[in-house]
Chains A and B, each alone.
Chain A
Amino acid sequence: MPATPSPQNFSSSPQNAPLLQMKGIALHFDGNAVLENINLNLNEGEIVTVIGPNGAGKSSLVSLVVGLQNPSAGSITRQAKLRIGYMPQKLTINPQLPLSTQRFLSLCGNNTTLKAAVARLSIECLLKTPVQKLSGGEMQRVLLARALMKNPQLLVLDEPAQGVDVAGQAELYHLLGELRDELGCGVLMVSHDLHIVMAQTDQVLCLNKHVCCHGEPESVSQHPEYLQLFGKKAAADIAIYTHNHDHQHDIHGDVVQPGAAADAHQHCQHDHSSHKH
């Protein structure tokens, strides 16, 4: 197994063996093909976004990657002892279970890693909140903190932006980009559309049972199969977005030092007042 790269040299990692490699994967349910002939490499330090219409098999692909399901055909090779941080599409915890965010996190690691992850994601103010009372955006942060505590080599997120408003989504994707830089981990995420994700994405996989197209965000958004799936309007929106993004790194318009943990209290307020921008 190759030595773990130091956080800063992630960009050189594609030369290493991929964290996970899928070859000729197919998945069938009762004879119906859900996925067909999928080839996919996930590398250290690389963000791969899977997009596609409803029923395209995005979540099935995720469950194959994390090993919740076995493929009907093809092979999946994971790096030995691969540490995966998994964030499901939705986490509904039985309200009968009394569980504070602090206790929830403490189930996954020791106090030191907990404190570090909590500080990194600025969720100190949520620690006493019962997990069932967390809002969509807050829950995503807590789940991300939980994943961080495991020091993952691969982060897998299934529609992480569900139930999060547009500002929160941009912030979340920005955060993911930062975490990728800090940890040097690979990221696989599923998204409904490319609009906000693309600035943080290295590779896009456009899925509709098979891989329609695959490549860097700009090239995918011009690909005929993509245009056919999502329409020209969507592609135009993306073009506008990337243009804007070049000039604006913080969605709130606040000045935030890149990489520096923002003030905790301030951040928690952001979650609730995301429209002031």
Chain B
Amino acid sequence: MGMPDFLINALLAAFAIAAVAGPLGSFVVWQRLAYFGDTLAHGALLGVALGLFASINVTLAIVLCCVALAGLLFLLQQKPGLGDDALLGLLSHSALAAGLVSVSLMGSSVDLFAYLFGDLLTTSRRDAYVIIGVCLAVLGAIIACWRKLLLMVIDADIAKVEGIPVNLMRMLLLVTIAIVVAFAMRVVGVLLITALLIVPAAASRRLTRSPETMAIVAALIGSCAVAGGMFASFWYDTPAGPSVVLAASGIFLLTLLKRR
């Protein structure tokens, strides 16, 4: 008995996202970018509305919207005092509200639920290949800049003095997060994307002792969460995205048993 095609496509896409969410999520945790991730994800909904309005490819519109938002956040980050929690919270939820309003203005043709909570099981084979390609590219960029990114995380000032292009690295990080968020929307939906990034990384932190192993183990934990969540979704007919996130949270709870 073979697996149904839709399940294979879904698993391929979800594993690819989980693999890249491990290292990227580690950077989100290290750079305290969880709120940025939220803001990007919520802004992605605005991209859906814009894509439908301009009648261009919706995924492309989401990517463009996220990257534009990443640019805006990058500029905000440059101004000390503006990057605080309150402002990001304001931005994040305003983006969500604007997205919800504009999508509902587009009429009943949009399945809002699919965007908010993910629509993994409708992934086509072609979608899966595109997602795998994008994830490989992002992973390649992160690996190529790994040392520079790490030095930036440790201390941006020292890195700058030593000639690391800190602003370029920061931009790279925000743009790759934007891209992954745009594609991960399909897996877990707007509301839970940040969880997919930070929960496996947080669980991995408790088990590992070097940045590299933390990133790799986070990818593995994310993959396990995907497998577990999809299994539950398939057999118990639970929504796929939330099941994946719950599985990741379950793994995190298990890591709490480990003594440090």
Q: Which residues of A contact B (CB under 8 A)?
A: 66-68, 84, 86, 88, 91, 93-94, 96-100, 103-104, 107-108, 130, 150
Residue of B nearest to A96 (CB): B29
Residue of A nearest to B32 (CB): A94
Known contacts A91-B155, A98-B209, A98-B210: does B162 contact A150 (CB below 8 Å)?
Answer: yes
Q: Is B85 an interface residue (CB 8 A)?
A: no
Sample of 10 A–B contacts (CB below 8 Å): A66-B161, A86-B158, A94-B29, A97-B211, A97-B214, A98-B209, A99-B210, A107-B147, A130-B209, A150-B162
Known contacts A94-B30, A99-B211: does B157 contact A107 (CB below 8 Å)?
Answer: no
Chain A residues positioned under 8 Å from B29 (CB to CB): 94, 96
Chain A residues positioned under 8 Å from B161 (CB to CB): 66-68, 84, 86
Interface string of B78-112 (1 = CB under 8 A from A): 00000000000000000000000000000000000
Report the minimum CB–CB distance from A268 to chain B (whole Å): 21
Of B151, B160, B162, the most chain A CB neighbours within 10 A belong to B162
Quick check: B162 and A103 within 8 Å, CB to CB?
no
Q: Is the interface of B mostly helix, strand, loop or mixed?
A: helix
Docked CA distance A98–B29 (Å): 11
Docked CA distance A88–B160 (Å): 12
Report the minimum CB–CB distance from B212 to chain A (whole Å): 9
Known contacts A66-B161, A86-B158: does B214 contact A94 (CB below 8 Å)?
Answer: no
Q: Is B208 an interface residue (CB 8 A)?
A: yes
Quick check: B157 and A98 within 8 Å, CB to CB?
no
Docked CA distance A267–B161 (Å): 30
Chain B residues positioned under 8 Å from A107 (CB to CB): 147, 150-151, 154
Quick check: A98 and B214 within 8 Å, CB to CB?
yes
- Identify which of residues 133-186 in chain B touch chain A, using a CB-to-CB cut-off of 8 Å: 147, 150-151, 153-155, 157-158, 160-162
Chain B residues positioned under 8 Å from A103 (CB to CB): 210-211
Docked CA distance A130–B211 (Å): 12
Q: Is B205 an interface residue (CB 8 A)?
A: yes
Chain B residues positioned under 8 Å from A97 (CB to CB): 30, 153-154, 211, 214
Quick check: A96 and B205 within 8 Å, CB to CB?
yes
Residue of A nearest to B214 (CB): A98
- Identify which of residues 183-216 in chain B touch chain A, using a CB-to-CB cut-off of 8 Å: 202, 205, 208-211, 213-214
Report the minimum CB–CB distance from B238 to chain A (whole Å): 30
Report the minimum CB–CB distance from A217 to chain B (whole Å): 27
Closest 9 interchain pairs by CB?
Answer: A86-B161, A66-B161, A97-B30, A96-B29, A98-B209, A94-B30, A98-B214, A98-B208, A103-B210
Quick check: B157 and A88 within 8 Å, CB to CB?
yes
Report the minimum CB–CB distance from B47 to chain A (whole Å): 30
Docked CA distance A66–B160 (Å): 9
B154: which of A66, A67, A93 is its contact (CB, 8 Å)? A93
B157: which of A68, A94, A96, A150 is its contact (CB, 8 Å)? A68
Report the minimum CB–CB distance from A224 to chain B (whole Å): 36
Chain B residues positioned under 8 Å from A150 (CB to CB): 162
